[in-house]
Structure 1
Amino acid sequence: MREWMHTPIGVEPERWTTWSDCRRVLAVAHTVADAQRLMDPLAVLAADHRVQVVFTIAPHSVFGAGVEEWLNSMGAVVAPWEQAVRSRFDLALATSVSRELDRVLAPVVLFAHGVGFNKLVPVPGPGQDGPERQPYGLARDGLVRDGRLIATRLVLAHTRERTRLERVCPEAVPGARVVGDAAVDRILESLNRREEHRRRLGVGSEERLVVATSTWGPSSLLGAGREHLDRLVREARTRRCRVALLIHPNVWAAHGTWQVLSWLRPWSEAGLIVVPVTAEWTGVLAAADAVLGDHGSTSLYATLLGRPMLLAPHGEGDIDPASPMGRALRTLPRATTDGSTLDRLLRELSLWERSTLRSLATEVCSHPGRFAQRIRAVLYELLDMPEPQGAAAARPSPPLSFDLPGRNL
């Protein structure tokens, strides 16, 4: 058991702190993906000397490996869980629904775990064909406990998510706020630096870049669609083309970095760029000329690029048909074993395909470019403090910087 801290929370922490009389904000991370996602709303608070942010790691997470290391690398203050839930905070932020949030002594602001509340999860209750399934993050079972709402505010990216929330958990609608999506804003910002990102990835001026993206689980690209990635890597070797792979943090957490890299070594030796979990994924995605994806959130974000896409032919059963990803799976072309995967990815888009991608992109976020401004208003209202003067600070997208074989970035 970790020793409890004395500052910035603890018994008489004001005896030891330099900045005093701060509002205290607790950031609850269950996974590395959670911690990374939390950095977006925290960016609007970070520079305010009236606010002290404390992280804690929720217990019992299946994918909890690596969270503490990631937070330590950021230089964050990390309180032991049992101390955090016995301390009062002015506000708490989380991106995963769990029963651990019941114990937090603060108004909770709950953010989406990914994009679009796409994934279906079983919820308790009788059903003719087994347990009922509802979208993760919107399901009543995760938002209401003993008749009480867990979150004071539920942050949504799109107005259509409010409509879906009304169907599954109407009592949560008054606390819902549509603010946009910080990942969308970072992708749009990264597109303005696309050539820089390509250069840092080692992509030559005459080369094309295909970004493959895998979520976690048996129906993901790495779970059920490896043959499509294998074909792509082999075909790219004979063409002026590079392939980069974005992997969901839960994959690294479940299997371990050493094991994942060992499994991928034949492909990396053939030229595959394996992007580490610590890298800024939005810059890699923005650098793409085409995307091979699956039913994960990154594939839906890729529609913002307006570039050719193929989706692995798996995972539909995990996705809410009413979600944006449900529509993407119905409308975007699928990877097959017929013909050249690379030729299909580097094709010229038809007018219909361009229109479809634009339409899907509009379902990702209602307020592109405005997340920081809109979430700051929500957080400071709950903190009962005036907002700082000036524009709200968005989390900067750091330049890509990781080692590639034969490259010096």
Structure 2
Amino acid sequence: MSRPGVKSVLIVVPHVQAGERLLDILPALESDMRVQVMISTPETGYRWSGINEYVRRLEGLVIPWHQAVSTRFDLVLAACHWGLVELDSPILLMPHGVGSLGSRIGHDGDVDRHNLHRDHLMLGDNVIPTVLALATDNERDVVGETCAEALPGAVVAGDPSFDRMLAGRPYRDAYREALGAAPDQRVVVASSTWSKYSLFGADPTIFARLVEELPRPEYLVVAVLHPFVWHAYSRRQVLAWLARAREAGLVVLPPEEGWRAALAVADVVVGDLGSVPQYAVGLGVPTLMSTDSLAGVRPGSPADLVSRIAAPLHLDRPLAPQVSRAEPPADVEREQVVRTITGRPGRALSILRGACYALLGLDQPSHEVPVSPASLPEPIV
């Protein structure tokens, strides 16, 4: 080896949203000459279509999962619990969406289930993550109730993705230009998560309806679909389904990136029970939430709170009047939602960096790592 003694870091990428969240913090580590980063995708028994291609595009050292499980790393970074029980290394686990609690009712219909239960965090008597990065102090309280064994390793770190959106606010003009928005156009971001209760699941024509009902000179409609939608059906199929809407002017963002920049410049967001409308309300953007998605919302969850703040979107009614009437949340409402997103606004990267270096047993570099603004959107052409 050319660099003996270098600390090894593995990032676990079971799906795009986990990979993108890990990329939010990777710049805080990978330039350190004492550290080498590797990437692997767990063999969970279900692999999303396109994950291998996505991982290759990261241009890092990709190792097969059987090698990852037989190697002792100095640090494992993960934003999903898939495969972690197979690894024998210090693990830092963070959420890949808004917080760790989640908002959707589980597949078994249990309305009390969330991602901080002990069956997600423990294997037998052992806590799986060495460090459990949480978004808010409330989540730490929940861990104390549902899995007290994980509490010593719990760190409230905030939300690095939200911090990047806030850091992107000064680049509004550049983001709008990249999206193709004319100076006087209002940007409407239409976001769909996955599940039958999602915006796209409830009304597959929703994107075509938006571009056809909203006057083109006044509005630019931008589509953001959850990566699982793309991977479950393929890029070719999704674009085929959206062909009519694209011909009418719909801007479609890829599953990897662009949605955060779009949110930073959105004039209105139309969405469902997914993370994007939660971030939108936290940013103070006028937001409509599909009433059809409420059937999949876990009571007491962040999406439940957003449903009581955002204007209801009725899919069986004309869309233009609903969009035109959307109002920004009141300051007190926005602050309520922000508290469900982050308990350490603007500090997530520095907190997570400190936790990583503590696990590596290294002193942190003296230079600060600034929060990078959300990347420029690159619409699919």
TM-score by length of 1: 0.87
Counterpart in the other structure of 2:213: 235
Letter in 2 for 1:110: L
Q: Kindly indicate whether residue 143 of structure 2 is the aligned counterpart of residue 185 of structure 1.
A: no
Taking a change above 3 Å as real, the CA distance of residues 72 and 394 of structure 1, as seen in their structure-2 partners, is farther
Deviation digits for residues 54-106 of structure 1 (CA, Å, limit 9, x no counterpart): 110011364522222112112111100001110110111111123x2111120
Deviation digits for residues 216-249 of structure 1 (CA, Å, limit 9, x no counterpart): 1111111114454443221124552110001111
Counterpart in the other structure of 2:262: 284
Which sits farther off after the overlay, 319-328 or 87-96?
A: 319-328
Counterpart in the other structure of 1:73: 57
* CA–CA distance in structure 1, aligned partners of residues 226 and 259 of structure 2: 10
Counterpart in the other structure of 1:32: 16
- Assess if the C-alpha contact under 8 Å between 2:17 and 2:256 holds in 1: no
Deviation digits for residues 302-354 of structure 1 (CA, Å, limit 9, x no counterpart): 1133121101113334333222222112332211146642333233637x745
- Assess if the C-alpha contact under 8 Å between 1:114 and 1:297 holds in 2: yes
Of the candidates 33, 43, 67, which is equivalent to residue 59 of structure 1? 43
- Assess if the C-alpha contact under 8 Å between 2:8 and 2:38 holds in 1: yes
Counterpart in the other structure of 1:358: 335
Q: Which runs of 5+ in 2 are unaligned?
A: none
Q: Kindly indicate whether residue 120 of structure 2 is the aligned counterpart of residue 137 of structure 1.
A: no
Q: Kindly indicate whether residue 331 of structure 2 is the aligned counterpart of residue 347 of structure 1.
A: no
Counterpart in the other structure of 2:87: 104
Taking a change above 3 Å as real, the CA distance of residues 161 and 61 of structure 1, as seen in their structure-2 partners, is farther
Letter in 1 for 2:121: L
* CA–CA distance in structure 2, aligned partners of residues 360 and 345 of structure 1: 21
- Assess if the C-alpha contact under 8 Å between 1:228 and 1:336 holds in 2: no
* CA–CA distance in structure 2, aligned partners of residues 278 and 95 of structure 1: 15
The SS at the match of 1:183 is: helix
Counterpart in the other structure of 1:336: 314
Letter in 1 for 2:52: E
Deviation digits for residues 104-152 of structure 1 (CA, Å, limit 9, x no counterpart): 12011111131132235659xxxxxx77454442121111111211111
How far off its partner does 1:165 sit? 2.1
Q: Kindly indicate whether residue 287 of structure 2 is the aligned counterpart of residue 309 of structure 1.
A: yes
- Assess if the C-alpha contact under 8 Å between 1:120 and 1:135 holds in 2: no
* CA–CA distance in structure 1, aligned partners of residues 324 and 332 of structure 2: 18
- Assess if the C-alpha contact under 8 Å between 1:63 and 1:254 holds in 2: no
How far off its partner does 1:50 sit? 0.5
Identity of aligned residues (%): 33
Q: Which runs of 5+ in 1 are unaligned?
A: 1-13, 124-129, 405-409
* CA–CA distance in structure 2, aligned partners of residues 336 and 227 of structure 1: 14
Counterpart in the other structure of 2:30: 46
Q: Please tell me the root mean square deviation across aligned C-alpha atoms, in Å.
A: 2.1
* CA–CA distance in structure 2, aligned partners of residues 162 and 252 of structure 1: 33
Which sits farther off after the overlay, 58-67 or 328-337?
A: 58-67
Letter in 2 for 1:92: V
* CA–CA distance in structure 2, aligned partners of residues 339 and 316 of structure 1: 17
- Assess if the C-alpha contact under 8 Å between 1:290 and 1:309 holds in 2: yes
* CA–CA distance in structure 2, aligned partners of residues 147 and 120 of structure 1: 28
- Assess if the C-alpha contact under 8 Å between 2:12 and 2:40 holds in 1: yes
* CA–CA distance in structure 1, aligned partners of residues 375 and 70 of structure 2: 35
Taking a change above 3 Å as real, the CA distance of residues 227 and 212 of structure 1, as seen in their structure-2 partners, is same
Counterpart in the other structure of 2:345: 368
The equivalences for 1:118-133 within 5 A come to 118-120=102-104, 122=106, 132-133=110-111
* CA–CA distance in structure 1, aligned partners of residues 45 and 251 of structure 2: 29
- Assess if the C-alpha contact under 8 Å between 1:225 and 1:312 holds in 2: no
Deviation digits for residues 142-185 of structure 1 (CA, Å, limit 9, x no counterpart): 11111211111111111111122223222212211001111111
The SS at the match of 1:43 is: helix
* CA–CA distance in structure 1, aligned partners of residues 228 and 186 of structure 2: 28
Counterpart in the other structure of 2:274: 296
* CA–CA distance in structure 1, aligned partners of residues 260 and 305 of structure 2: 22
Deviation digits for residues 265-321 of structure 1 (CA, Å, limit 9, x no counterpart): 111111111111233321111121100011001111111331211011133343332
Q: May I ask how many residue pairs the two structures share in their alignment? A: 380
Letter in 2 for 1:306: G
- Assess if the C-alpha contact under 8 Å between 2:208 and 2:244 holds in 1: no
Which protein has the larger Cα radius of gyration, Structure 1 or Structure 2? 1
Q: Kindly indicate whether residue 245 of structure 2 is the aligned counterpart of residue 267 of structure 1.
A: yes
Letter in 2 for 1:391: E
Counterpart in the other structure of 1:8: none
